[in-house]
């Protein structure tokens, strides 16, 4: 099985606007970059992933991806995420990928073992595997085999919509649960949970102080 990861990235300097009350603009940019680098490093260490495609309209995010020798696609203007992911999936299929794994760039606790276990759940026949967030609202990882097996429905409530799309298409659906994969950072409570974790695991800390 040849699985490609697709990582969509919002402009780093405009990321995490819902944290404006607790982080300065530069702290939010630093946080977004830190999480992006973490996700890219993890996907490179997962042996089940053949390659990674990063899509963004942010030249800074794409430059970071190229530091890791990853494929990139620059979106023009203000593209709609689901349409952009659909185009990226077509590109990956054209490269011979028989499955795709979509990962957001804000998963600070993601581990390679999460990706391996999730992909293994979709190793037999046409299949969709979904990992949701802690609130069971969003989609923190979406695996599909073959590429384009279902459409993309990201946005509020995407977990439920992706499940509905899989059922409507008659595609076998599996869910994957992981506490490290479930944490994405959108609001202050998510940020505090992340801080508690890196305080327990100092090796994850990077330069820059976002506690201020």
Task: Express each pLDDT in 165-181 by its tens digit.
Answer: 999 999 999 999 998 99
Lowest mean pLDDT among 28-37, 153-162, 202-211: 202-211
Question: 22 and 37 in contact (C-beta within 8 Å)?
Answer: no
Q: Which two tokens stand for residue 70?
A: 């990853």
Identify the pLDDT of residue 201: 57
3-state secondary structure of 201: coil
- Say if residue 59's pLDDT is above 70: yes
pLDDT tens readout for residues 12-21 = 988 888 888 8
**What span, in angstroms and rounded, lies between the C-alpha atoms of 143 and 129?**
5
Q: What are the extents of the domains in the chain?
A: 3-204
What kind and span of H or E run contains 160?
helix 158-169
Q: How many CB atoms lie within 10 A of CB 189?
A: 10
23 pLDDT higher than 90: no
Instruction: Give residue 200's pLDDT.
Output: 63
Superfamily assignment of 3-204 in CATH? Spore Coat Polysaccharide Biosynthesis Protein SpsA; Chain A (3.90.550.10)
Among 170, 44, 37, smallest CA distance to 107 is for: 37
Cα distances (Å, whole numbers) of residue 11 to 77, 108, 193? 12, 17, 24
């Amino acid at each position: 099985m040849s699985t490609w990861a697709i990582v969509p990235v919002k402009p780093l300097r405009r990321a995490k606007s819902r944290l404006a009350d607790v982080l300065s603009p530069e702290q939010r940019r630093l946080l977004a970059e830190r999480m992006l680098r973490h996700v890219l490093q993890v996907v490179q260490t997962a042996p089940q992933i053949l390659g990674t495609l990063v899509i963004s309209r942010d030249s800074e995010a794409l430059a970071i991806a190229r530091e890791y020798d990853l494929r990139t696609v620059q979106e023009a203007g203000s593209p709609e995420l689901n349409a952009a992911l659909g185009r990226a999936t077509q590109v990956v299929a054209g490269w011979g990928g028989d499955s795709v794994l979509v990962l957001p760039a804000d998963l600070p606790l993601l581990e390679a073992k999460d990706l391996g276990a999730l992909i293994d759940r979709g190793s037999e026949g046409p299949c969709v595997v979904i990992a949701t967030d802690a609130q069971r609202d969003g989609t923190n990882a979406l695996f599909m085999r073959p590429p384009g097996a279902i459409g993309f429905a990201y946005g509020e409530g995407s977990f439920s919509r992706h499940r509905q799309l899989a059922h409507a298409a008659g595609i076998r659906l599996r869910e994957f649960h992981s506490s490290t994969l479930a944490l994405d950072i959108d609001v202050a409570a998510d940020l505090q949970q992340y801080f508690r974790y890196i305080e327990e695991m100092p090796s994850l800390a990077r330069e820059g102080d976002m506690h201020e």
